[in-house]
Amino acid sequence: MDKILRINMGAAGGPQVKSESVGSYAGLGGRALTSTIIAKEVPPLCHPLGEDNKLVIAPGLLSGSAAAMSGRISVGCKSPLTGGIKESNAGGMASQMLGRLGVAAIVLEGKPKEGMLYKLSISKDKVEIKPDNSLKMLGNYAVAEKMKAAHGDKVSCISIGQAGEMKLTGASIAFTDMEFRPTRHAGRGGVGAVMGSKGVKVIVVDDTGCPVRSPKDPGKFKEANQNWVAGLRKHAVTGQGLPTYGTNVLTNVINEAGAYPTKNFMWGRFDTCSKISGETQAETENARGGEGSATHGCHRGCVIRCSGTFYDKDGHYLTKQPEYETVWAHGGNCGIDDIDAIAMLDRLDDDFGLDTIEMGAAIGVAMEAGLIQFGDAQGAINLVKEVGQGTPLGRVLGSGAGLTGRVFGVERVPVVKNQALPAYDPRGIQGMGVTYATSTQGADHTAGYAVTANVLGVGGKVNPLKAEGQIELSRNLQIATTAIDATGMCLFIAFAILDQPETFQALLDLINAFTGAKMTGDDVTALGKNILKLEREFNHKAGFTKEQDRLPDFFKKEKLPPHNLTFLVKDSELDQVYNW
């Protein structure tokens, strides 16, 4: 991966493509690369939808290689949702393909003429950007179909739906999966709105004729990869839990822990959660889908295979197996226990190009405001449809939970840095509260997944109901996560490398055999710290202080049943997360 493709959308005669050497960015991948480019090139006080913001799409360091799990893709920009730096990553096919094409990053820059929409095509021999207003206001599914018809089914697509075109701060960027469906999303932080502001509707990636990337030391690489896969298969979470039930295996676990945020974070348990649990979901999918319902990977090279397919009552494809966060956001968070309705909401979100977490949280807030009742599944579907239609109410909801709360005068709004909290109540899993509060990304479970030691007993044990130990836990996880996000590896590898030193060593061996480096565990830590520092500096220059590293008031005031606790970690402790 030796080149960066810069697309200047604001060039005088229309968008221009420039392919340049990675230069000083060499050796960086994924989040390390996106965050470094944003920190170096984007003025922290610029308008997120203006010409000075950039959208960076970068495969990981190992993407395009034969390394298992290396197909995650990172998207970076100044976030129109949080106002700070953003890295949002996704699965899908694009990362491996861009890796094979030798593209370290696509950088969308400048601002095109108002009202123009473009398609960017990247293949071995040509990079081309052309206007295509026929794509206007199409959903991601229709875009994918059109691209398949035009380019065949061996390419992959990166696209935005109506939400991104409308520049809504809840808009995602969709990546087609192995079935050419736009189901894998860089969901968080409104990255789709930035792509929309650049006027790029779709990027077609075609790696035809590009071989898998070669490691520096093929022998060692092969051996390391074998150990790596064996380690992942050995661990209970990555070898059994996730492959069997997908991420939704967590519903019963988190509900049991009393930390399942129910009805806009009013309770920690959802009475009827078994109706939407991973177990029930798998059963339903198996019953309806037969063979096709087996779990599979979201990208080439995945050995965990936590993805699945959801069929409607008539056995027709509706959407991918909704993820735990989606099932919670549209389910328990809204008091909805209808798995079919949740799947429909997932489908609509994917099609319009919306972050399911942000949308579920926004609807929860709308329910708290009394627009519709908690539990009203059809009402929720109607609300999401309004987003696709671009009605004023739809635009409000599509702008996320924070804005919805402002418009409807709601006080209980679960956001940090204006980004909605995911599916773990910080009063029931206190370590997650530390991550939500202090992450450079706004409330984000993937930024430092303290559920590991707090609930799952992975990587040690820290009592989830006490303040003790949470700062250190979240800090270490945030550092490690940031480094993993640089490799292109799926975050789920964390379970195995936290518990199995030999699997962590296999990962290091894999990286070293591939790149020729001599990375140690300390180097990984240093990498994570460096990226976090860059991100935090960007946020500081964008006007963030420790006062933004706080949970909303109500988590400190309202006790969450069944444990009847508030968030216990003191502000002064939160301020220690970055003192390493």
Name the site residues for a copy of itself (rule: CB under 8 A).
Answer: 44-47, 49-50, 52, 80, 166-169, 193, 196-197, 391-393, 395-396, 399, 403, 406-409, 411, 541-545, 547-548, 550, 552-554
Nearest to a copy of itself of 7, 366 (CB atom): 366
Beta-strand pair 3-8/103-109 = parallel
Instruction: Give the CB-side neighbour count of residue 361, counting CA atoms within 13 A.
Output: 31
Q: What amino acid occupies position 389? A: Q
Least distance CB 77 / a copy of itself (angstroms): 15
Per the DSSP assignment, residues forming a β-bridge with 131 are 118
Least distance CB 351 / a copy of itself (angstroms): 19
What is the dihedral angle through the alpha carbons of 298, 326, 239, 463, rounded to the nearest 10 degrees? Answer: 140
Least distance CB 146 / a copy of itself (angstroms): 24
Alpha-carbon distance of 114 to 111, in angstroms, equals: 8
Alpha-carbon distance of 251 to 238, in angstroms, equals: 17
Alpha-carbon distance of 386 to 400, in angstroms, equals: 14
Least distance CB 415 / a copy of itself (angstroms): 11
Q: Are 20 and 8 in contact (CB under 8 A)?
A: no
Least distance CB 543 / a copy of itself (angstroms): 3
Least distance CB 193 / a copy of itself (angstroms): 7
Least distance CB 399 / a copy of itself (angstroms): 6
Q: What amino acid occupies position 25? A: Y
- Residues in the chain, how many? 580
Per the DSSP assignment, residues forming a β-bridge with 18 are 6
Angle between helices 356-368 and 339-352 (to 10 degrees): 120
DSSP string, 422-435: -SS-TTTSHHHHHH
Catalogue the E-assigned strands of 435-574: none
Q: What amino acid occupies position 83? A: G
Nearest to a copy of itself of 366, 480 (CB atom): 366
Q: Which element (helix H / strand E) includes 150? A: helix 140-151
Nearest to a copy of itself of 197, 441 (CB atom): 197
**Which are the contacts of 142, defined by CB distance < 8 A and separation ≥ 6?**
none
Least distance CB 153 / a copy of itself (angstroms): 33
Nearest to a copy of itself of 265, 270 (CB atom): 265
Least distance CB 437 / a copy of itself (angstroms): 12
Nearest to a copy of itself of 297, 552 (CB atom): 552
| SS3 at position 420 | strand
Nearest to a copy of itself of 112, 322 (CB atom): 112
Least distance CB 408 / a copy of itself (angstroms): 7
Nearest to a copy of itself of 46, 253 (CB atom): 46
Q: Are 37 and 107 in contact (CB under 8 A)?
A: yes
Least distance CB 552 / a copy of itself (angstroms): 7
Nearest to a copy of itself of 96, 438 (CB atom): 438
Residue 575 φ/ψ, nearest 5 degrees: -70, -5
Residue 21 φ/ψ, nearest 5 degrees: -65, 150
Alpha-carbon distance of 151 to 171, in angstroms, equals: 26
Least distance CB 547 / a copy of itself (angstroms): 3
| Residue indicated by tokens 């050419």 | 180
Alpha-carbon distance of 539 to 416, in angstroms, equals: 14
Alpha-carbon distance of 170 to 138, in angstroms, equals: 17
Nearest to a copy of itself of 73, 362 (CB atom): 362
**Which are the contacts of 150, defined by CB distance < 8 A and separation ≥ 6?**
none
Nearest to a copy of itself of 155, 363 (CB atom): 363
Nearest to a copy of itself of 395, 445 (CB atom): 395
| Residue indicated by tokens 């393909």 | 97
Q: What is the DSSP letter of 560?
A: B
Least distance CB 390 / a copy of itself (angstroms): 10
Taking CA atoms, 536 is separated from 434, 483, 539, in Å, by 16, 15, 5
Alpha-carbon distance of 403 to 289, in angstroms, equals: 39
Nearest to a copy of itself of 99, 400 (CB atom): 400
- Among the listed residues 70, 98, 90, the one whose alpha carbon sits nearest the alpha carbon of residue 301: 70
Nearest to a copy of itself of 230, 371 (CB atom): 371
Least distance CB 539 / a copy of itself (angstroms): 10
Nearest to a copy of itself of 218, 543 (CB atom): 543
- Among the listed residues 368, 307, 308, the one whose alpha carbon sits nearest the alpha carbon of residue 333: 368
